[in-house]
Structure 1
Amino acid sequence: IGMPCARDKSQRYYGLPIFIQNTTYLNAVTNAGGVPVIIPLQLSEEMLRVIYDTLDGVFLPGGEDLDPALYGEEHHEFLGPIDGERDRTEMLLARWALADGKPVLAICRGMQILNVASGGSLFQDIRAQRDGSEKHDYFPPAFERVRISHDIEIQPESRLGRIFGPQATVNSMHHQAVKSLGQQCQPVAWAPDGVVEAVEISDHPYALGVQWHPEELATHQQDAGSQHLFADFVAQCRQRRADLALAHNGAVYSAA
């Protein structure tokens, strides 16, 4: 399961450029039976495609803000740090996976990538741009990453609804949110103030994005719904591998 890394800009390692990733994401995937493959950001499109073609699924993690140029907007004054190489890498992975039917699970920033890759846009800052919104930016270190911040309402007929049921309580560490939805991008969960908390791609076998951080709740709180979410994703990746192997073996047998 491919997982793009992030960039450490602290220069704490003797000023060397360093790629990093939150081990809680890795633990959530491995605990569900998946094998994470960390993807660096500086690869050419051709090299990235080589890695992508070996993957059974794509996991898009949380992180910095997206460059609003990706959805045709200028920078807002409250836009946070951006990373063009990470945007490029994750947009390519998302678009390839959407085109190929490869399973995708997207968390926080990842859900926003999924929406923008589908042609949608974002509120660059919820409080500044969306009237009537509640607080969503419960960032550490002021708040613990597992802090439950609000309830969400989930569409019961959705894949997410089959995992969590019609309601869930979630943590919240974001200041951006979905504004306009991308093509085939269906909202399936909402915060009390109406902010979209989850999306699914309607014409795709498995492409699901959530705005909260279930990896924290699955790993550190042993939350059953969050663990089920990762197990469901890994099971879909495993099933896709089995289906492709069966199709390949059938083609070889027919050719023989």
Structure 2
Amino acid sequence: MGLLGDKPIIGIILDENTSQGGASYDTGKGYFKAIEKAGGVALGLPYAADSLEFARQHCAGLMSTGARIKFPSEWYVPGQESYAPQSDRFAIERALVEAFLAEDRPYFGICNGMQMLGCLSGCRMSGDAKSYTDGSIAHDDRTTRHGVKVTGGTKLHAITGLDHLQVNSFHREALVEMSDQVVISAYSDDGLVEAIERPDRRFVMGVQWHPERLIEETSDAAALFQAFVTAAYDWAKAARLQPSAL
């Protein structure tokens, strides 16, 4: 289970058009292309209870996409809350991420997916990321490119082999209070947390930027997906020897 032939199956949490009422799934093709280019099989997971059981039976890895959905107020620093729309995505995404964390299956969170990972790991958010910076980077602009400093000794550093990356940016919220369950693996040049890892898990990472939009531009973006797919493949191969793990 978890493999189609020799390719690991990756479940991708679908996004939706929350800005238009959330009536349609609306997910960029780049997420799927990045997984496929790295040698995986990408399958979209809708916001249905059966997605959890399907993913646990058939997916070797889980990837959470960007989104604009409301998180609980207790996930924010005191005095702040989310102004994003309510979404039925939240409940199934939380259940999926919690299940994969509990079973030590590979997980890769992008933008919203990093924030979900962080908050489920004891971190707290701000809905006003720019108030934690000097204003030199427009983090809520899809055309933005900015630098991030990679922390030595982290999985991100091992994967990219670089101390400094150039990334894109499109977010208004950010993790601003960290827990001891995570390691910060990158900061933006203006000081925001841009990547986190769970050192107690085989492959659990989150990045604030959108590497799926950069795989044709930078080798480090493609390397992230390759490392994730490889980790999922290794998990699936090991799980075949332990059927009870599925």
* TM-score relative to the length of structure 2: 0.86
- Partners of 1:16 and 1:167 lie apart in 2 by 37
| Distance change (3 Å), C-alpha of 1:212 and 1:10 | closer
**TM-aligned CA deviation for residue 73 of structure 1:** 6.1
Which has more radius of gyration?
Answer: 1
Which residue, 162, 165, 170 being the options, matches 1:168? 165
1:216 aligns to 2:218 (yes or no):
no
Structure-2 residue corresponding to 1:159? 155
Unaligned 5+ residue runs, structure 2? 1-9
Q: Are residues 232 and 65 of structure 1, via their aligned partners in 2, closer, same or farther at CA, if it must alter by over 3 Å?
A: same
Larger deviation: 223-232 or 1-10? 1-10
Matches of 2:182 and 2:154, distance apart in 1:
12
Match of 1:135 in 2: 137
| CA shift digits 1:72-94 (9 cap, x unpaired) | 668858x5433331121211111
What RMSD over aligned residues (CA atoms) do the two structures have, in Å?
2.5
* Structure-2 residue corresponding to 1:82: 85
Corresponding residue number in structure 2 for 1:254: none
| Matched residues, number | 234
The amino acid across from 1:108 in the alignment is C
The aligned amino acid for 1:71 is W
Secondary structure of the residue that 1:175 maps to in structure 2?
coil
1:204 equivalent in structure 2? 201
Separation in 2, partners of 1:163, 1:240? 18
Question: What is the rounded CA distance, in whole Å, between the counterparts of 1:230 and 1:83 in structure 2?
Answer: 30
From 118, 125, 136, give the equivalent of 1:122: 125
For residue 5 of structure 1, what is the aligned residue in structure 2? Answer: 14
Tell me, in whole angstroms, the C-alpha distance in 1 between the residues paired with 2:115 and 2:39: 26
Q: Partner letter of residue 185 of structure 1?
A: V
Task: Give the whole-Å Cα distance in 1 for the aligned partners of 2:224 and 2:123.
Answer: 24
Does structure 1 retain, via aligned residues, the 8 Å contact 2:77–2:125? Answer: no
For the pair 1:63 / 2:67, whether they are aligned, the reply is yes
1:93 to 91, 96, 107: 96
Distance in 2, Cα, partners of 1:56 & 1:204: 14
Equivalent pair of 1:56/1:237 in contact (CA under 8 Å): yes
- Counterpart of 1:135 in structure 2: which amino acid? I
Which amino acid letter does the alignment assign opposite residue 212 of structure 1?
A: W
Matched residue type, 1:109 = N
> Which amino acid letter does the alignment assign opposite residue 37 of structure 1?
L
- C-alpha change, 1:203 and 1:73, in structure 2 (3 Å) is same
Identity %: 26
TM-score, length-scaled by structure 1: 0.83
Distance 1:66 1:75 in 2: 16
Amino acid at match of 2:157: G
Task: Give the aligned partner of residue 221 of structure 2.
Answer: 226
| Matched AA of 1:81 | A
Corresponding residue number in structure 2 for 1:40: 46
